[in-house]
Each structure stands twice: as structure tokens, then as C-alpha cells.
Structure 1
Amino acid sequence: MRKRSESASAADGGDAGIAGLEKELADWLRRQCANYGTLHPEQHHLLARIGITAETARAAQPPTPPAEPDPLDTAFAHARTYADRYGHIAAPAGTVLDGFRLGKWLAWQRRRAHQGRLSPARAKALAMIDPWWNPAWPLQWQRDYHRLRTAATGADGVPPTNLPRSLYRWIRVQQETWEHLHPGQQGLLTALGITPHTPVGERPALATRPYPVSPGLAHARTYAARHGHLTSDKHTRQDGFPLGTWLGQQRRNARAGTLSATTSAALASLDPWWNPPWPYTWHRTWQQYRTAINGSTPLPDALHHWIAQQRARWHTLHPHQQHLLTHSADSTDHSTRSGTP
């Protein structure tokens, strides 16, 4: 009778009464209260005989904690805020908006998209915020384009004017490499009134002072003769010369419009794709893929996975990337092993 009276006190006092029972019985009563809604009507009847009703079962349950905000909803809300403010979400990786690491989150979504692991629903939601949130070209190009779009006073077919000198240089680089640009890049520039033949700013005067030929060119020629390309690792040294570092600097100069025409032409003669308009990491992986399928060893699993990703996002690749993949093998007998699209 002592246990039954304590059970009745549980009905009157909620969890305070249950706490006074023996541990095994108290735990059992708490489980009945927690699962009251799933019990059989006869079980309800038996519990009512010891004072446990629907009301007392609810009283004995701990209060439901307030729902935490969905992190995904929070991320998309910040992405929309950034897009409303700047007109795009090509945010640098270090961007923090109202305490949220938006740049890092967006970088992670792009990485998952490149790996083929981003859900179609999430990719569509991001594309609704910014159609070019994950471009097929380097994200730095997209940021430079938005910098130009923001600074341009002209639009709708009218060439932009009154721009900083650095942007004029950038535009000239795009005009000079127009045929290598992705159709999407060409369309974005054309919408700002920029075409290959649009006069933009004053052309810099031709240099009249002779400059010595960089020693890097000689080492680049040696490397290209040995390997057939200039897609070297940044740590590559050629006969003691830091060729990888030097080539990286030439690519940066080319993007900034400060690389001399002589050096640019010399490097292009050694390797037409020494400075590709797509991410350099993609080009290095393609070189590894091409070497592997033209060799006698089986294709590594990592390259099998990489080529599967290229098939999955084929429509987003630059036409020249598609061409390089299609013609990677030296002969058609590699087609099965290589997985050429």
C-alpha cells in the first residue's frame, strides 16, 4: 500500500511524486508517462486506477525545449542578405556576415558541388539567389567581373567608362583571350558592353627600353621539352631554378594585365594552355589523367572518381575542357580504360 499511495502522489504532484519512489518503479512510471499517447486504452485504464491520467502524464514529462533554428535556413538567409547587398554571392572565403561565416559555408557548397555531392535541391536554391554562384571558371574571375560591374557607369551595350586603371587592364586581358573564355564569361562581359573589339580606355604606350630576357624562359623551354607541357607543381625546380614559383608569378601577372606580350607569346608557344582560363588544379589533374591513360598502368581510383565527376558536370565545362577530355588518349584503344566521355 505504501507504493500505491506514492503512485497516487505522483498523479497529484507530477514528477515530484515519482521522484520519491524506488528507482526501478519511478523509471517505469516515467516511461509510461512519456509514451502515454502510444499506449493501449486498457493500459490507460489500468494507469488511471493508480492515479496516472493523460493530464498527470503530461505534467510528469519534461518541458519541450524550444526548437533550434535550422542551420541551413540560417545559411540561406545570410546568402540572400549578401546577394541583396552586393548583387551576387561570389563572397571571399573569409567573409563573415552578422557573425555567420558565409564565405566558408559557400566555399564548402562549391566544393561539394565539384565533388558531385551537393543535393540538386540545394544547388537549385543557391542558383535562384545567384545563377553564377558556382561558375565553371575561377571564382576570382567572377569577383573581378563583379568589381567591374559595380564600378562601370555604362551598361546595356554601352562600354563602361571612368574605371580604375587596374580594371582597364583586366578588360584588355579578357579581350586578348576572348576565344579562350567560357561562353558564360563572354555573355557576362557582352552584357556590360565589352566585346573583343570594344575600345576601352587608353592603350599603354609600347615600351622602348629593352629588358633582359627572364632566365625562367630558358628553364621553361627545358621543362616543356621533357614533359610536353608547363603544368608544373608550384614546388617544381628545374636545374635548381624555382620554375613552379616563377610560372605561378607569370600567371598572376597575366591575370593582372602586367605580363609582357613577349613573355606571354613565348610561354604560349611552349604550351598553349600554360595559363588556362579554368582552375589550375583542374588542368594539373587533367595532365595526370592524360599521362595515366596513355601509359601502361591501371588508372588510379582517384582519377576514376575525377573523370566520373567530369561526366556528371559535363555541361558546365568550358568547351576547350571538353575537347581536352575527349582527345586525352593518343589512340582509341584507350577509350574503355580511360572512361573518356
Structure 2
Amino acid sequence: MVRYNLLEPEHANWKAGHRAAVAYRQRTGHLAVPYEHRELMPNGHSFPLGRWLANQRRSMQAGGLATQRAEDLDALGMVWDPTEAAWEENLAAARAYYAEAGTLAAPVTATALDKPVGQWLANVRKDGGLGKDPERAARRAAQLADIDPDWRPAWPVDWQRTYAAVARLMALGAGVEEIVPGVTSGGIDVGRWLQRQREHVVWEGLAEGQRERLTALGITPLLPEQKTPVRAPRGGSGGFERGCAAKLAQYKEREGSTGPVSRSHIETLPDGTQVKLGVFLANTKTRRAKLSTAQLQALAALGLQWAEQALSAA
């Protein structure tokens, strides 16, 4: 009290900052304050301690910090390295991004708190990206892991980002059966991605950690015979009939016409079978010379002019 009120009358902001630093140091045992941290003061107000300490570092680096102030902060265990200030600021941006996206698997173009957090995260994931000092690198890795344990996944970052988008949708109440092709999140067709992950061959090719994360969400692989989507037929009547059924029972009834159908279009039959209808139609048109008269008649009945022309030519 003597220091604050009599011996060293200081600027109000400095006194408030020093009081907040003392309180934080007494409570935590250190002064490694996150950049965005605000310290709650006895008067009920909060003080932006993290930002204030970053400003003291900048003043110290520029030679504008009074010796007595520097000594007061030294006594509290102040970390003066400007790289630490930059680290804390970027870490704050990472926290802000995670709060919004639910993951640190950010695209390199991502920003938060006016910081290029996506590029920064890409840099720290690289070998040596946390610094050359092993102790500092371990501490920084722990800070990132506290935000997101999967901040540096053992699989592609793109996969982790899409998985996180699916997890976020499910946390909001969406069921696996509702995340179908065409459902997007952050511009990503998460429905198509999820469908692909569940295919037996793809599932078996995932890392154990990837499968564990999907399973924890209640996502399971399809059986081999449930592969989806179904490939266009290569001569078997079953595939041809499924294609016709998708075209007749659903697409035509819904759209009122037979096309044009985009090559990427998929139809789901009542039994749950999914058909790449666009691919089916493109393939049957290409191999129309090899189709039977009955198959051409079935396609012509659906309104496909090229099938009618093939029948006439025959």
C-alpha cells in the first residue's frame, strides 16, 4: 500500500496492471499469462492482463520501460522474450478459432483475432515448428493439446477438419442417417465424405486412430455387400434393373422428366441401395450397342431418346 499510494505514485493503468500481475502470480505461481486473459479484480472489474504484459514486453524491447517497472515485473517472474508474446497472441487466436470450428485442423487461409492462424498452425505442425529449445517446445505442444488433442494428427489435416465438421453437426443433434450426400459444413460436402469413409475398402484403409474417432461418434462401416454407391452395371441384369428403378421410381417421378442428369448424381432406392445414376446413364449410353433389345426398350420407355434411336437403328 505504501508503494502504491505514497512512495511511487504511478499512472493508474500501470498500477492496475501491476496489481493484476501480482494477483495472477499469487494464484498460479507464474506469469505466463495467455494473451487474451483478463484478470478479475477485487472491485469486480476485469483487467486485460495478457495484452498489458505484451505491451510491457514491447516497451522493454524498444527501450521505453522504466528501470523500476522492469525490476517490479522481474520480481514477479516476467518473461521478456518477444517471441513469447507473439506465441501467446497466436495461441489466443488458435483458441478463438477452435471455439468457432471445434478443431485446430484449420485451412491455411483461416484467420482469427486478425491473425493468420491457419498458416501459423501449419508452421507449428512442421518439424521444429515449436522452436529449438526442447523444454519450450514441449510446453508449447502441451498448450496446443489443451485446446485440441488432435492439433497435429497422424493423418491428413484435411481428413481431421472434415471429421471435426461431422462431429460438430452430430453434437448439434444430427444423426448419422441425416448426414447424407449434399449436406455441407463450411463449404465441405460432409455427407459425401462420411459415405465414403463407411465404405468397407476405405474403412479398412484408415488408421486405427481414425476408425476409433468415427466409432466414438457411432459411425460404423458398411458391410462389403453394402458398398455404396453401386457401380454402373457391366453386363449384369441386376445392376441394370436397379438403375432403371432409380430412374423410374424416383428421379422421373420427382423431376417430371428424364434429364439431363449430372454425372455425379446419386439416387437412393427404397431398400437403401445407392446408385450412381449419372454414371449409370453415361455408361449405358456409351455401351448401347451391347445392350439387349429388352434393355433398350426399358430405357426408351423412360424417355431416353438415344435408346429410341438405337432401337430404330437395330
Q: TM-score, normalised by structure 2?
A: 0.40
Give the greater-gyration-radius structure (CA).
1
Where relative contact order (Cα < 8 A, 6+ residues apart) is larger, the structure is 1
